[in-house]
Structure 1
Amino acid sequence: MSEKRELKETLLFEKNHRIHGGIYHKMQVDFAYNSNHIEGSRLTHEQTCYIFETQSVDGAVFVNDVFETANHFRCLDWVLDTISEPLSEEYVKQMHRILKAGLMTQQNPEVVIGDYKKYANVVGGIETAKPGEVSAQMAQLLQTYQNLQQPDFYEIAWFHMAFEKIHPFYDGNGRVGRLLLLKMCLENDIVPFYINSESKMFYYAGLKEWQTQGKPNRLLDVFLSMQDDMKAVLDYFEIDYDHTETTASTLAEQHKKWKL
């Protein structure tokens, strides 16, 4: 049996050496497809893979779907290249800038790319931060995260919930938030994960329950399930990871003892 490899180093090596068919290739395609599909992209998994592998498009597709897929690939590369950089407001804005670059909606003067939203919005029946509140709330959220000595699974999940509650951008908040999840997992040696499109409704319901009722269990269940899927992928590619079992009940107890 070959020696186990570390995930971060393997992803960077395969990215920099353009290794075809490895875990970097799979993560790029699967993450972009699922994260964009949750937000309404009409591209199939096969089309997403085709764009990544050939940098071209096959068939009639929507222009913005193609741009957002290609930009998502660039965002993941940027996460890997900046894995040691601390989170900041400018880091988050730059991720949004990369994700939304070149979209046809960029021609609308009311659309803000790479900066916070200009108008208040209600998402899933939840009032998000007003434009004048976003900067202060984002600064506080990021400071809270930076103050954590070694962020764990629960604290990273909490960050994602809080980020989506603020909803700092006019669009792209879910994708940016899930990319930040990936970065935080990788930099803290936590098995990363992405939400598959089949779990979309459970994911949204979990976010809403935590944001409005302070109940994290459903969202944590979704995250743990998606993490289990990733562990199976890591096993296939012989990538090393911490096999300590984390359960929703354990995380729920942590929530009771210490609420952020």
Structure 2
Amino acid sequence: MTTVAQLQRASLLPALETRVLLTHVLGWRRTELITRDDEPLDPHAVQRFEALAQRRLNGEPIAQLTGKREFFGLEFEVSPDVLIPRPETELLVETALDAIAGTPNARVLDLGTGTGAIAISIAHARPDAHVWAVDRSPAALDVARRNARALLDPARTVTFIESDWTAKLDPSLRFEAIVSNPPYIASDDPHLTQGDLRFEPRGALTDDADGLSAIRVIVETAPLLLAPNGVLWIEHGYDQADAVRRLLTARGFTDVRSIRDLAGIERTSGGAFTA
């Protein structure tokens, strides 16, 4: 019968991806792949691993194959209906938490929530905060709600709203911080037809324009929902920081700046609105 060691030697995938799929299929911890590597495996488990490995070789993202992705220390459910959370987006969560650090019971709005990763991570880190999360996709909101139920204390809730950006929000709401990871890839970017992006929802990746149209809408409408001196922070592409700063400044934001991610890329830009 086939063993873990034999599967690892025969796999055409990178070693890390092989281990991820094996732990997923077998329900084992990583250490068990070492301590039980010569243990005969159930043929059905072998077949399942081989099927998933072939799908990965065909390009499907690991997160969609396992149905989960870790983000900000939490394990989120992932499906083809949502953008897979990326490590660089943790910067947006950290920036939002810094912005509300001195504000008890802060109100935070996440625009384009997808898996709910940003909103839920903020709610998890700040149990006193009141967090709203918006997405226009009912399927994405279903995933986000399941993640909230799985990851937050029952006493903690995130308010999920189906809306095209701020269109269906109560205009009387005011937030200390608004954050967004909108679709910012330009429609002609070749990366859309490469790698994992081929399997993720196109509407969560690109605005089917120049990559800035969603950001323009957010910058224009966010001030209507910001509390005095509230902040807006937006994740954007590696080459969009200057354009986003100009949009924020033109709309009347102050203290406009960009923050670099761990790779040194200006990944998120924002500012405060005092008017």
TM-score, with length taken from structure 1: 0.30
Greater Rg over alpha carbons, structure: 2
The structure richer in strand per residue is 2
The structure richer in helix per residue is 1
TM-score, with length taken from structure 2: 0.29
